[in-house]
Chains A and B, each alone.
Chain A
Amino acid sequence: MATAIRTEGLSKQYQIGQLRPAYGTLRDTIVHGVHRLRTGHVHEPREKIWALHDVSFEAEEGQVLGVIGANGAGKSTLLKILSRITAPTTGRAEIRGRVGSLLEVGTGFHPELTGRENIYLNGSILGMRRTEINRAFDEIVEFSGVEKFIDTPVKRYSSGMYVRLAFSVAAHFEPEVMIVDEVLAVGDAEFQRRSLGRMERFGESGRTVVFVSHNLRGILQLCDQVILLEDGKVTANGPAADVVSQYEQKTLGMGSEIVWNDLATAPANAFVRLQSIRVVDEDGAPVSVADVRRPVGIEVSFAVLLPGRAVVPKIKLHDQHGVLCFNAMDVSPRWHDPTPPGEYVATAWIPGNFLNEGRHAAGVEIVKLDIPKPDPQASAYEAVAFHVYDPAEGDSARGLFSGQWKGAVRPLLEWTTEER
């Protein structure tokens, strides 16, 4: 495949003074100028920051490239440079094919104009030709669901209608290379579902997309490759799943594996000590992102130090909203008797098609079974995390539905139907 986007050492420097008093008046400038002439200071020492520093990456045609990073990491600056809204300070980028950027929906919408007029106005501003707008017009109106008000000035629209119309225009804009800021975060759930579906089809139609988002689920669902920006620099660039988990590990301080090498700091009491916890796939290989359809294992290594106490490994799983999905322990009779000293590796297998999408955190406890409450001997609360993702190929519990799917779990149930 040919390269659609190539950037080499893109950097953007801002003077902090230039960012702040954007409304500098002529008088200020003259005063400064005169001051400079009199004192001979040609350059005033102004603080400069690199909003973007030496950013190089490539995206191939047909690829959906995600850009993630914390606020202020340079994502917007990168988009603005790629959209040619602002020029880089140094570096170079080349984009092959017609470029369109979508940094907000409804750019240029005029409140006094009707829905119909705004479709033409907004479409043209985005870069659509008149003939293209004519062709897509009916579809845009239908997609937005504002048929009845299409000849009403948009200032009379509800904010929901306004956004839906704006998004519909954007969604029917199909350049070869598309630069998209988090525009999916608009509208109601139903509309978001349709929008995400449209974005997905866009990616599948062989167009190149650069997509910036905070929505990691959306990133995992849409993107092939992801770059992570931190302080204006690219700190990771690779397959979406890897980079997303790396980012989560950094921001949440929680990885998919934890090993206690130092006996002193390991969760322990006199009888039991935790050694490591890992998230593994069916082959026992560590994973940080799990396909929703496949089983995932929580592998707990622990050592029993003294004889005489019956202990049981137990796990606790929380979803990204902090909801406790479940508690689970090994009910095998082997743990009924006092556990002989030694090292153990116990893996709890969470079946495929059971968890919902998103980030999950697993905690581990080695407990002594007491009534009324298990007595934890060694515990690590939310010790490891992993991401469950649905490639939406139709064979998971969401079937062909691509929208939001609520619930602590997402089991693929067996259904029986009789026709009467």
Chain B
Amino acid sequence: MTETPTPVQKPRLRLPVPSRLVAPDRDVPVTVIEPARSWPRLDYRELWRYRELLGVFIWRDLKVRYKQTVIGVGWAIFQPLFTAVVYSLIFGRFAKFPSGALPYPIFAFAGILAMQYFSGALNISSGSLSANIPLLTKVYFPRLLLPLAGVSVPLVDFVLSSWVLIGMMFWFHTYPSVHVVLAPLFILLALVAALGAGLILAALTARFRDVPYAIPAFMQVLPFLSGVPFALNGAPAKWQWLLSINPITTVVAGWRWCLLDGPPPVLGQALLGTCVAVLTLVAGLAYFRRSEPRVADTI
């Protein structure tokens, strides 16, 4: 009992003792923390490592989506159906919008489905940062997971309401051609466009709260700029090209081509829309990555 009462410190010798954690057979990841580059590159490998968390985010959003609602996922079907009824009455019956050779209700419903996916994906992904502020300020993960989950969640609604479309096919005796195998490509195009725009808007929303107000206004006119209530090939050629700058025009036309055997999209117009979508995605990724390190400070 004669030692000094000062608490004995664990020895801190700087000796090259092989440690448990840096055994040579284990690759120890090294995290480097540095000031943010002005244009950070996309870290694919990190995204891959975090794939499980992406799944968890999607699962969470799906789980929570229709909690405490009476008809639950029924809403996924009811919403486009209701819109289709209104379109059929107003644009189909009264305004006599052109729908090519197709019955107007199924023509409208197919377009509305694609449109609904895009607007859902854009809405959720653009709000994904501001909806997860507590996460962003408390824990690290690639922020890109949130908008990625945002464009994935409405896919489920989309698949659900597609069953209604299949039902309508039998009712109207309108069956898809072999091009149906290309249908996922057009949904992919919608996803690319939604993700691109969603990334830009999500990063903007982190700084400016104007964005959530602007999106609904934009969404109200978008169906008319995408050829949802009318057949694109019924419009003058000049207008067709102008509308094709919007990738969703190609998505809607392509979707009808694949599933309802409608007229094929004009190749040049489809390429134009695809280029715009891809460019939006590239710009979105770049801008999002640039904003990412500052998100926790500005949100």
Contacts and interface: CB of A to CB of B under 8 A. Distances in A.
Interface of A: 1-2, 4, 7, 10, 14, 18, 22-27, 29, 60-63, 80-99, 101, 103-104, 107-108, 110, 112-113, 117, 120-121, 124-127, 129-130, 176, 206, 220, 224-225, 239-241, 281-283, 285, 287, 289-291, 293-296, 352, 389, 391
B296 interface: yes
Contacts of A99: 31
A87 B33 contact: yes
Interface residues of B, number: 56
Contacts of B53: 124-125
A53 to B, nearest CB: 14
Given A88-B34, A96-B28, A287 B4 contact: yes
Interface in B7-29: 7-10, 12-15, 17, 19-22, 28-29
B224 interface: no
Nearest to B211: A26
B24 to A, nearest CB: 12
Contacts, number: 177
B135 A97 contact: no
Contact of B22 (A96, A240, A296): A96
Contacts of A86: 293-294, 296-297
Q: Is the interface of B mostly helix, strand, loop or mixed?
A: loop
A282 B210 contact: no
Given A87-B35, A117-B63, A282-B4, A108 B139 contact: yes
Given A92-B34, A124-B56, A85 B138 contact: yes
B6 interface: yes
A130 B29 CA distance: 20
B134 to A, nearest CB: 7
A176 B139 CA distance: 16
Contacts of B137: 80, 85
Interface string B49-61: 0001100100010
Given A81-B33, A95-B30, A26 B210 contact: yes
A237 to B, nearest CB: 12
Contact of A281 (B5, B13, B35, B134): B5
The 7 closest A-B pairs by CB, nearest first: A294-B5, A87-B293, A93-B33, A84-B140, A87-B36, A124-B56, A26-B210
Given A88-B34, A96-B29, 16 more contacts: A1-B15, A7-B33, A23-B209, A26-B204, A85-B296, A86-B294, A88-B35, A91-B35, A93-B33, A96-B28, A108-B139, A206-B20, A240-B9, A289-B5, A296-B5, A389-B7
B67 interface: yes
